[in-house]
Chains A and B, each alone.
Chain A
Amino acid sequence: MEISNDIQMPIFMQVSEKLTDAIFTGAFAEETQIPSTTEISMTYKINPATVLKGMNLLVDQGLIYKRRGVGMFVKQGARERIKTMRNEDFSEKFIKPLLDEAKKLDLSAEDLHKLIDKEMSDEARA
């Protein structure tokens, strides 16, 4: 994971995104402890207050919870939750920018459908 100063996304959001990704891919399994603020802060050289802010986003989204005196744990069902959230964001994050660029290039809906079909069949063959 690389944290970038090239701030199109604030660092605390990058932190929350990376942690979410780690949960989604199973690197941080459900009901297991995630690394501490100190560990994350030192590994990626980020201010601990920023790390905490990123972690709190995950708490708010119900993905992690605190066990007093132990640390943060991944909630049961967190992966499924992330999948739902990502499905909800899919249009906003991927389809909208695609349509914006298509508009600039005068691509019709039909052109787009063809392109998607072609990519999908190429990928299936590979």
Chain B
Amino acid sequence: MKLELKGLTKRFKDVTALDNVDLCLEKPGIYGLLGRNGAGKTTMLNIITARISASEGTVTLDGEPVFDSDSKLGCMHLMSEVNYLDTDLRFKEAVAYAKQSYGDKFDSDSAMRYAHAFKLEGSKKLGKLSTGYKSIYKCCLALAMDTEFVFFDEPVLGLDANHRDLFYRLLLDSYQRKEKVVVISTHLIEEAASMLEHFIIIASGRILMNLDSEQMSSYATAVSGPRDAVEALATRHSVISRVSLGGLETAYIKGIVETDDPKLSVCAVDPQRLFIELTRNEEERV
């Protein structure tokens, strides 16, 4: 099943949250949607799942518009911080409700298994749960979805380190139970990186990069050493950013860079560092 975004634009009063976005998601896999606060991640996910409408552009599934199509929307699920569930709903009831709406595309047994692993109290109302457990409640439902597309918008917000670890492992369980397109938007890049096959980076409402994990790891090289030696090498390449400490400089250079200069040390750049260097504001250079 092919999900396509074409020329997607969303304007709020005086802000353009999404600016002419084209994106295609088809191959099952775990995709990371990365972007700074206000970059447009949530807006994009909300438009895809028809929670809000676009100002311009289209979202189609296998060529047909998603908006207003129950059968198309039934192929997708979005877990997000915003509550669209009734706060009086107990987890057990939510599971029964999801089964009723999604049928074969929801696995009740897995939902209960995930809830058990998190020690989520099935008989407590959603509204009565702590912030962390509210997220867990929604995560457990989303993890049990076998829809072709499952979107997680900041799923680990408010979860402690153990619960985040558990969530990631259950996400892999969920994915291997039934392969699907899983998109996870997160700020915790370091924690999620090893699970991601694909990185979609958005900045100021636009897709900045769309790379698989191998392209991502060879996207940039960090070169460190005495400033003049680094500069001599940097002038021959495209530099993403520079950080200096006294006479010591590190340049983040596009592509794979090699050097024989023994004064220089060269290393690969991990996804989180690359993200930071690519999306850093001038004001943040303190």
Chain B residues within 8 Å of A3, by CB: 194
The answer to the question of B175 belonging to the interface, with a C-beta cut-off of 8 Å to chain A, is: yes
Most buried by B among A43, A47, A48: A47
A42 engages B197 (CB within 8 Å): no
B268 touches which one: A7, A41, A44, A104 (CB < 8 A)?
A: A7
The answer to the question of A121 belonging to the interface, with a C-beta cut-off of 8 Å to chain B, is: no
Known A-B contacts A10-B217, A47-B30, A49-B29; the reply to A41 vs B176 at CB < 8 A is: yes
A45 touches which one: B169, B213, B268 (CB < 8 A)?
A: B169
The answer to the question of A6 belonging to the interface, with a C-beta cut-off of 8 Å to chain B, is: yes
Chain B residues within 8 Å of A6, by CB: 270
A to B contact number (C-beta, < 8 Å): 55
- Chain A 113-126 interface mask (CB, 8 Å, partner B; 1/0): 00000000000000
Those of B199-224 within 8 Å (CB) of chain A: 213-214, 217
Known A-B contacts A5-B271, A5-B272, A45-B168; the reply to A11 vs B173 at CB < 8 A is: no
The answer to the question of A25 belonging to the interface, with a C-beta cut-off of 8 Å to chain B, is: no
B194 touches which one: A37, A47, A104 (CB < 8 A)?
A: A47
B194 engages A45 (CB within 8 Å): yes
Q: Which residues of B contact A (CB under 8 A)?
A: 29-30, 165, 168-169, 172-173, 175-176, 190, 193-197, 213-214, 217, 262, 267-272
Q: Which residues of A contact B (CB under 8 A)?
A: 3, 5-8, 10-11, 37-38, 41-50, 104
